[in-house]
Amino acid sequence: MSTILNRAKNALADLPESDQAELVTTLERSAAERKLKAMIAEGVAAIDAGKTRPLDIERIIKDAHTAHASSA
């Protein structure tokens, strides 16, 4: 991986700083999207395998109200 990172670093070094920033932002966004997709896939696999339980929405709302009331 260090060879790839060095190649990327060298390629970026020749570009104006604004282009560097734009490319880094694009790379960060791409990495975040891949991570999110992996997390979604993991969640779907857990659901498919029966490793989840139904949400108790009434309990979630009650807990949120309790937390909000105690923080006010």
Q: Could you give the CA distance from residue 33 to residue 39 in angstroms, rounded to a whole number?
A: 10
Render pLDDT for 23-45 as a digit per residue (tens, 0 to 9). Answer: 999 999 999 999 999 999 999 99
Domain ranges of the chain: 2-71
Helices (H) and strands (E) in the chain, counts: 3, 0
Residue range 45-60: average pLDDT?
Answer: 94
pTM for the predicted model, two decimal places: 0.63
Q: Percentages helix, strand, coil for the chain, rounded to the nearest 5? A: 80, 0, 20
